[in-house]
A and B are shown apart, each in its own frame.
Chain A
Amino acid sequence: MKLLPLVEDTVKGAVWDCRMCGQCVLHSTGWTCPMTCPKTLRNGPCGGVREDGHCEVKPEMPCIWTKAEKRSHHPLNPGFWGKHFSDLRPPVDNQLRGTASWANLVTGRDREVPEGWEGRTHEELEVPWSSLGEVDDVRALDEGFHTRTEIG
């Protein structure tokens, strides 16, 4: 692990049980990490919350969303964070797992979402490998084939 993610993991892991999703939304969830929900739900509780407000999966644990909701609307939580509680948070970008959300916040990488999520479309890119079928000899693939598919 690089230094920054290590520091973030150490600090936020201790305080919020941070799971290093790399796209922190703690400010909008009343400082309650949604990735600690066994279903990693980022937009509110599932239908299985028990009558005592505890988790369907871990009965000993209060549902993180009952906590998040209370904390988010707490008078001590600044309104500019609280008002984002009901926003529809986009699907997790699994490419960011293990990276420092602090860096991703500064670069804006944590706010990048797929085009379709935002209602935009793009012309179909040429996907060379979809027409290859089975390739018997990897040397038949053009140079950079594998590196192109890697996550940048």
Chain B
Amino acid sequence: MSTFRQLVETRTRPIVTAEFPSIDGGTLDTVKAKLDPILPYVDAINATDNPAAHAHASNVSIAIALKILGADPILQVVCRDKNRIAAQADVVGAALHGVTNLCALTGDDVTAGDEPQARRVFDLDGPQLVRVMDGLRQGRYVSGRKLEPAPDLFVGAVENPFAPPHHYRVERALLKADAGARFLQLQIGYEPDKLAAFASGCVENGVAQRTALLPSICLTKSAKALEFMHDRVPGIVVPDALRRRVALSSDVAEESYQVAFELAQAFLATPGVAGLHVTDFRHDGSLARLVTDLGLSGSASAA
């Protein structure tokens, strides 16, 4: 069994997952070059599915590459680009290659990307996709046709504790947990109080105990990056005080790291939280530094 899955099930230490950077060209060596610096510090890595509605090397191809290169991949599947037939085929096909961790997302709208003319699919929504994946795990397609042997899937999803309507997000976490999600990677956020309210609701309704909550930390190195996320990415708020703190500091890159580090500490100290998901836009070794500074042992140090 994968370390990631074992950790989600046992919670013996905080889990660390990370977003794999998008790949647009090259070979397996290109993937390896981006993987090697982070591999020792994480328990699993997300193979993203056309993030922000931009086309990249596909989720399935990256997940298989990550598997070949020794990582434990999490296959992200978004609802935006594929109907239920294609989504199921991707999951079943990836499982053939040993890719069994899944993460279901609704997905950004096509208008968030560089091809806003594209047709949006959304044949399934996020919670429906979770249930469809759980059905595959139990050995059946959504049609009822049998899948033998049933792939040993480990299903997860996402949620955004930071976007309104806030109290309703707890209900959505429950909906996804009931549909079969065993972990929830949470949207990037900068407000620990909102995360605490969400996590507390998830402890109260029992979700946090059976579904690992993994809030996201975003590693950036400029004031502009925070401004961009605040202004341009719907669902993400970066409080004024934080943006000012970074913009006015003498070492913006270092201050950005400190902001992320403090947030990570606050998130990990939040009851109900099982670990962290890290999105690294710096690619300068900050992920390794963060994991080390937090005293978390990644896959290599645990081995």
The judgment on whether A and B are partners is yes
Residues A94-150 near B (CB distance < 8 A): 94, 114-117, 119-124
Among listed B30-38, B131-139, B221-229, B246-254, interface-contacting one: B131-139
Is B163's CB within 8 Å of the partner chain A? Answer: yes
Interface size on A, residues (CB 8 A): 39
Closest beta carbon of chain B to A71's beta carbon, Å: 12
**Interface-central residue, A42, A43, A66, A70, by most chain B CB under 10 Å:** A43
Task: Check A124 against B146 for contact (C-beta < 8 Å).
Answer: yes
- Write the nearest CB–CB distance from B122 to chain A, whole angstroms: 5
Quick one: which of A46-78 are within 8 Å of B by CB? Answer: 46-51, 53, 56-57, 63, 65-66, 69-70
Residues in B neighbouring A121, C-beta threshold 8 A: 139-140, 144-146
Task: Please name all residues of chain A whose beta carbon is closer than 8 Å to the beta carbon of B135 when the two chains form the complex.
Answer: 116-117, 119
Q: Which residues of B contact A (CB under 8 A)?
A: 79-80, 84, 106, 108-109, 111-112, 120, 122-128, 131-132, 135, 138-146, 158-160, 163-165, 168, 171-172, 174-175, 178-179, 187, 234-235, 237
Q: Which 6 A-B pairs have the closest CB atoms?
A: A115-B144, A47-B160, A56-B234, A48-B234, A116-B144, A43-B127
Q: How far, in whole Å, are A46 and B158 apart by their CA atoms in the complex?
A: 10
Give the secondary structure class of A's interface. Answer: loop
**When the two chains form their complex, are residues A45 and B139 in contact, meaning their CB atoms are under 8 A apart?**
no
Distance in Å: Cβ of A133 to nearest Cβ of chain B: 20
| Among A38, A45, A90, A122, contact of B120 (Cβ-Cβ < 8 Å) | A38
A-B contact pairs, 12 of them (CB 8 A): A43-B175, A46-B235, A53-B164, A56-B109, A56-B234, A69-B168, A88-B131, A88-B175, A91-B128, A91-B132, A117-B135, A119-B138
Say if the beta carbon of A39 comes within 8 Å of chain B. Answer: yes
The answer to whether A51 touches B122 (Cβ under 8 A) is no
| Closest partner residue, chain B, to A52 (CB atom) | B164
Residues in B neighbouring A92, C-beta threshold 8 A: 123
Q: A39-B120, A48-B235, A116-B135 are in contact. Are A91 and B142 (CB under 8 A)?
A: yes
B127 partner residues in chain A, CB cutoff 8 A: 43-44, 88
Contact status of A120 and B122, CB under 8 A, knowing A38-B109, A49-B163, A56-B235: no
Q: Are B122 and A115 in contact (CB under 8 A)?
A: no
Known A-B contacts A48-B234, A119-B138; the reply to A43 vs B125 at CB < 8 A is: yes
Do residues B178 and A66 form an inter-chain contact, with CB atoms below 8 A? no
Q: Report the bound CA distance from A45 to B166 in whole Å.
A: 11
Residues in B whose Cβ lies below 8 Å from that of A43: 125-128, 172, 175
A42 to B124, CA, bound (A): 9
Query: With a CB–CB cut-off of 8 A, which chain A residues contact B172?
Result: 43-45
Decide if A10 is an interface residue (CB 8 Å cutoff): no
Q: Which residues of A contact B128 (CB under 8 A)?
A: 42-43, 88-91
When the two chains form their complex, are residues A114 and B143 in contact, meaning their CB atoms are under 8 A apart?
A: yes
Query: Are B163 and A45 in contact (CB-based, < 8 A)?
Result: yes
Q: Are B178 and A117 in contact (CB under 8 A)?
A: no
Assembly CA distance A89 to B175 (angstroms): 10
A residues within 8 A CB of B163?
45, 47-51
Would you call A116 and B165 a contact (CB within 8 A)?
no
Closest chain B CB from A52 CB (angstroms): 8
Contact of B106 among A39, A51, A53, A122 (CB under 8 A): A39
**CB-based contact A40/B175 at 8 Å:** no
A38 to B125, CA, bound (A): 12
Q: With A48-B109, A91-B128, A121-B139 given, is the CB distance from A86 to B165 under 8 Å? A: no
